[in-house]
Amino acid sequence: MGTSFAERRFVITGASSGLGRRLALDYAAPGVFLALTGRHAERLAETAAEVRHKGAEVVTAVLDAGDGPGMKAWLESLEAEGPIDILIANAGVMTGPAADDALDGFDAAAGLIRTNLLGVVYAVEAIAPFMIARRRGQICVIASTASFRGLPYMPAYAASKAGARIYGESVRGRLAPLGVSVTVASPGFFASPMTERFHGDKPLMVTTQAAADRIRRALDKRAPRTIFPRRIALLLRLLDLLPASVGDKALGDLAVRIGADGGAR
């Protein structure tokens, strides 16, 4: 429990770009071991090269977070070489209905749920038994402020992140007595390739560095939650308490479009 971050072994999913990449670079230091996954081989290799340059040991796997058997096998192979101290389940994609479509579409909706929700579940289910056995470890689930209210311009995304947040909140209570701490992070807009594909208002957007700093501080303290900006989360919670027609109209009036590939990381 007293081990410093400079001596720890991390797994970060979705480390090809954005928040996952920033966290990998911020944690990179001599003595640190970082296991990084992502779906984009070239970008993942670039992240790994920068991590090595900072003195950390790094291994990578080009792996879809939604590949449950693949994720389980990879995490088990890492554990066989040494205990994983911190899992950051960050992999995610963002898409929404095209301008002329009512819904996300079957394949897009299924892909969002598979990556954003099942990707978290697969990683946690694979690593938690090892942490429980040694009665120590930390897990961070990256959700979103979009999880606090259904959003008509990104229904499947909001649902996937709501599922990830509630899953993280649920397992936190079960794992705490077993020595494993769980932090659920719900960021709002932060600068990233994924956010660039979101065409609409981005209230209170912060830099990727600021988002990574908030999450690192939460992990340092083993905080159960970090939500930022809180004003966005509170507004969405308020809209959820109002009559549905009022909340639906307020959110439906927003002119929003999201790029087709959603900035997968």
State residue 89's pLDDT score. 98
CA distance 33 to 14: 16
**Does 157 qualify as catalytic in the annotation?**
yes
Catalytic option among 27, 153, 157, 167: 157
State residue 199's pLDDT score. 53
Q: Where are the beta strands (DSSP E) in 104-199?
A: 137-142, 180-187, 198-199
Read off the amino acid at residue 127: I
Domain map (residue ranges) of the chain: 5-258
State residue 260's pLDDT score. 43
State residue 248's pLDDT score. 84
State residue 191's pLDDT score. 54
Mean pLDDT in consecutive groups of 10 residues from the start of the chain, 265 residues: 65 95 97 96 97 97 96 97 97 76 88 96 98 98 94 90 97 97 90 56 74 96 94 87 87 54 46
CA distance 131 to 253: 46
Q: Tell me, which fold does domain 5-258 have in CATH? A: Rossmann fold (3.40.50)
